[in-house]
């Protein structure tokens, strides 16, 4: 599939931000631990969620779509403990079922996720953490095979503030009755906090949520009737960047401002005009952004998932910007596509040196991953001419109705199947 984008249309109006993909991808597998069905609201209608639903269904969990953004998940008939290659290879977040399956069945087999288009993405922190909880883990025929006789209390020190490992180990620990688990150097991302809130609302005893050290006292039962997922800060950030281009004016509704602070700070420092309300942000575009330095960091630092979109914005800034990628050193595939659109970018190891040009020009470009695709859509929207983006399947993984939302604001994006 392709997008055909007519460049340089003015974007004006308001839009509603969908639920957070990465929260939903954590909370959905955590439902494996529940006693009863749960209604999950504000689930984004995106491909990764459909993949997670398929995976849960294969395990015997009932997943029913009540409406576009609401799922009912009933884990009572779960009857399998093996997650197959076809789904795990599609999406790394599938690894999250490993711990909950191990808790339910004392055995779990999950295909080993590989790298992805922006480089190696190991799962050693997940594996080491589960081992500390008492699991015996081997890799056999491409599968992670985990068994456990008895879980144990543990202190897990994460070597890095990994979002996935923090989420996975918190959910695995929640239902370990009479065990006390301390996890140090936890990720503080809002999606980690949302998962912990969900579990606590279900009866878990997770203390220190949103701090470096989280303590979990295992309980013997988790149940919750319904839960609403937080808004997607990366979707919001992407539209904030879109609103920052000249002549545009967009009101974002359904945002949590604190989650966006690192992004808001950078936008303000390049001169973008923002009006911040309780759950809304109005962004007004500027003639030319100022150049800046950005370093991606774990939350509350600047998110790696916004690096590509900011590269598009800085590619037309006044002066030279420096973008240092500290989370995924090779996450720069979009830079080479932006260069086809006249951007002046040099990559030296994990640093991109972005020299602002007067304008981007249209080209045929290739989307390689979710956030790279978003940066190319943004580039297409401001480019002189009509841009074609190939392989936009990537964008459907994480942005709900992206062309519909942009077109409502005045863009001209056509999906070519
Ligand atoms: N790492 C390891 N070993 C591990 C786990 C992580 O070395 O066992 C390394 C990674 O290679 C990386 C760093 O630690 O260098 C951080 O990775 P992290 O575990 O935090 O990332 P993740 O959980 O795999 C989530 C998001 C990503 C987002 C990152 C960083 C989900 C489903 N994915 O990935 O989102 O980029 O956190 O914030 O929550 C996206 O939405 O486009 C996306 C890629």
Sorted by where each starts, the structural domains of the chain and their CATH numbers stand as 2-18+231-416 (3.65.10.10), 21-228 (3.65.10.10)
pLDDT tens column, 10-33: 999 999 999 999 999 999 999 999
Beta bridge partners of 290: 318
When pLDDT is averaged across residues 205-225 and rounded to a whole number, the result is 97
The span from the CA of 217 to the CA of 215, in Å, is: 7
CB 74, CB 101: distance < 8 Å: no
The span from the CA of 307 to the CA of 265, in Å, is: 14
The span from the CA of 100 to the CA of 103, in Å, is: 5
CA atoms within 13 A on the CB side of 352: 32
Pairing mode, strands 107-111 and 82-83: parallel
**162 C-alpha to ligand 1 centroid (Å):** 6
Q: Name which residue sits closest to atom 35 of ligand 1, judged by CA.
A: 305
164 C-beta closer than 6 A to ligand 1: yes
Give the rounded percent of residues in the chain with a pLDDT score beyond 70: 99
When pLDDT is averaged across residues 84-96 and rounded to a whole number, the result is 91
pLDDT value of position 385 = 98
Q: Cα dist. 341→123, 242, 295, 323, 324 in Å?
A: 36, 17, 24, 19, 21
163 C-beta closer than 6 A to ligand 1: yes
Residues annotated as part of the active site: 116
pLDDT at 117 over 90: no
Q: To which residue do tokens 């992670």 refer?
A: 144
- Binned at pLDDT 50, 70 and 90, residue 87 comes out as confident
**301 C-alpha to ligand 1 centroid (Å):** 14
Closest CA to 275 of 246, 251, 302: 251
When pLDDT is averaged across residues 57-63 and rounded to a whole number, the result is 97
159 C-beta closer than 6 A to ligand 1: no
Pairing mode, strands 214-217 and 180-184: antiparallel
DSSP one-letter string for 182-196: EEES----HHHHHHH
Distance of CA 410 to the CA centre of its chain: 26
194 C-beta closer than 6 A to ligand 1: no
Whether pTM > 0.75 for this model: the answer is yes
pLDDT value of position 116 = 67
CB 213, CB 183: distance < 8 Å: yes
CB 135, CB 148: distance < 8 Å: yes
Residues 6 or more apart whose Cβ sits within 8 Å of residue 57: 63
Radius of gyration of the chain (CA): 21
Q: Estimate the share of the chain in helix, then strand, then coil, as percent rounded to the nearest 5.
A: 35, 30, 40
Token digits of residue 301: 């630092």
315 C-beta closer than 6 A to ligand 1: no
370 C-beta closer than 6 A to ligand 1: yes
Q: Name which residue sits closest to atom 40 of ligand 1, judged by CA.
A: 305
Burial class (CB in 10 A: 0-12, 13-18, 19+), 68: exposed
**29 C-alpha to ligand 1 centroid (Å):** 17
Residues 6 or more apart whose Cβ sits within 8 Å of residue 129: 156, 158, 165, 168, 169, 172, 183
Ligand 1 atom closest to the CA of 93, numbered from 1? 32
CB 403, CB 9: distance < 8 Å: no
pLDDT tens column, 294-322: 999 999 999 999 999 999 999 999 999 99
**33 C-alpha to ligand 1 centroid (Å):** 23
**120 C-alpha to ligand 1 centroid (Å):** 10
The span from the CA of 169 to the CA of 182, in Å, is: 10
pLDDT tens column, 269-289: 999 999 999 999 999 999 999
What integer best gives the mean pLDDT of the chain? 97
- Binned at pLDDT 50, 70 and 90, residue 42 comes out as very high
Strands (E), 106-199: 107-111, 136-140, 143-147, 154-157, 180-184
**395 C-alpha to ligand 1 centroid (Å):** 18
Ligand 1 pocket test: which of 51, 121, 132, 171 has the largest number of ligand atoms within 8 Å of its C-beta? 121
Q: Cα dist. 144→50, 102, 110, 403 in Å?
A: 23, 12, 5, 38
Distance of CA 250 to the CA centre of its chain: 23
Ligand 1 pocket test: which of 20, 27, 157, 164 has the largest number of ligand atoms within 8 Å of its C-beta? 164
DSSP one-letter string for 50-75: HHHHHHHHHTT-EEEEEETTEEEEE-
**164 C-alpha to ligand 1 centroid (Å):** 6
Token digits of residue 256: 């949590």
Q: Name which residue sits closest to atom 7 of ligand 1, judged by CA.
A: 122
Question: How many other C-beta atoms can be found within 10 angstroms of the C-beta atom of residue 334?
Answer: 30
Q: Name which residue sits closest to atom 10 of ligand 1, judged by CA.
A: 121
CB 242, CB 250: distance < 8 Å: yes
Query: In the 8-state DSSP scheme, what is residue 303?
Result: -
305 C-beta closer than 6 A to ligand 1: yes
328 C-beta closer than 6 A to ligand 1: yes
When pLDDT is averaged across residues 358-368 and rounded to a whole number, the result is 97
Alpha helices, DSSP H only, in 331-389? 333-340, 370-382
Q: What is the largest CA-CA distance in the chain?
A: 64
Token digits of residue 235: 């979707």
Q: To which residue do tokens 């006693």 refer?
A: 35
Q: Name which residue sits closest to atom 24 of ligand 1, judged by CA.
A: 164
**309 C-alpha to ligand 1 centroid (Å):** 18
When pLDDT is averaged across residues 75-90 and rounded to a whole number, the result is 93
The span from the CA of 200 to the CA of 175, in Å, is: 11
Q: Name which residue sits closest to atom 11 of ligand 1, judged by CA.
A: 121
The span from the CA of 160 to the CA of 141, in Å, is: 28
The dihedrals phi and psi of 114, each to the nearest 5 degrees, come to -95, -160
40 C-beta closer than 6 A to ligand 1: no
Ligand 1 pocket test: which of 163, 324, 400 has the largest number of ligand atoms within 8 Å of its C-beta? 163
């Amino acid at each position: 599939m392709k997008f055909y984008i007519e460049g340089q249309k003015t974007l004006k109006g308001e839009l509603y931000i969908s639920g957070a993909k990465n929260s939903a991808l954590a909370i959905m597998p955590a439902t494996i631990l529940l006693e009863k069905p749960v209604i999950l609201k504000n689930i984004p209608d995106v491909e990764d969620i459909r993949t997670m639903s398929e995976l849960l269904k294969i395990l015997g969990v009932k997943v029913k779509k009540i409406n576009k953004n609401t799922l009912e998940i009933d884990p009572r008939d779960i009857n399998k403990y093996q997650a197959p290659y076809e789904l795990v290879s599609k999406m790394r977040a599938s690894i999250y079922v490993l711990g909950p399956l191990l808790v339910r069945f004392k055995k779990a087999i999950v295909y080993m996720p590989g790298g992805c288009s922006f480089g190696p993405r190991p799962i050693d922190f997940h594996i080491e953490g589960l081992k500390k909880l008492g699991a015996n883990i081997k890799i056999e025929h491409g599968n992670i095979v985990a068994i456990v006789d008895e879980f144990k209390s543990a202190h897990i020190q994460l070597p890095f503030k990994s979002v996935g490992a923090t989420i996975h180990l918190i959910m695995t620990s929640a239902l370990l009755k009479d065990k006390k688990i301390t996890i140090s150097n936890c990720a503080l991302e809002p999606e980690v906090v949302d998962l912990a809130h969900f579990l606590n609302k279900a009866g878990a005893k997770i203390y220190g949520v949103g701090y470096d050290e989280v303590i979990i006292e295992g309980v013997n039962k988790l149940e919750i009737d319904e839960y609403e997922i937080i808004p997607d800060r990366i979707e919001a950030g992407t539209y904030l960047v879109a609103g920052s281009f000249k002549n545009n004016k967009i009101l974002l509704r359904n945002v949590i401002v604190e989650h966006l602070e690192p992004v808001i700070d950078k936008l303000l420092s390049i001169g973008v005009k923002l009006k911040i309300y309780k759950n809304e942000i109005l962004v007004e575009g500027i003639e030319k952004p100022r150049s800046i330095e950005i370093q991606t960091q774990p939350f509350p630092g600047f998110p790696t998932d916004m690096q590509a979109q900011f590269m598009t914005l800085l590619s037309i800034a006044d002066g030279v910007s420096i973008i240092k990628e500290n989370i995924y050193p090779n996450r720069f595939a979009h830079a080479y596509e932006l260069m086809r659109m006249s951007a002046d970018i040099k990559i030296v190891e994990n640093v991109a040196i972005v020299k602002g040009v007067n304008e981007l020009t249209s080209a045929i470009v290739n989307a390689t991953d979710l956030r790279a695709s978003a940066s190319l859509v943004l580039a297409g929207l401001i480019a002189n001419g009509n841009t074609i983006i190939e392989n936009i399947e990537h964008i459907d993984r994480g942005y709900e109705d992206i062309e519909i939302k942009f077109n409502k604001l005045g863009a001209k994006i056509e999906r070519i199947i």
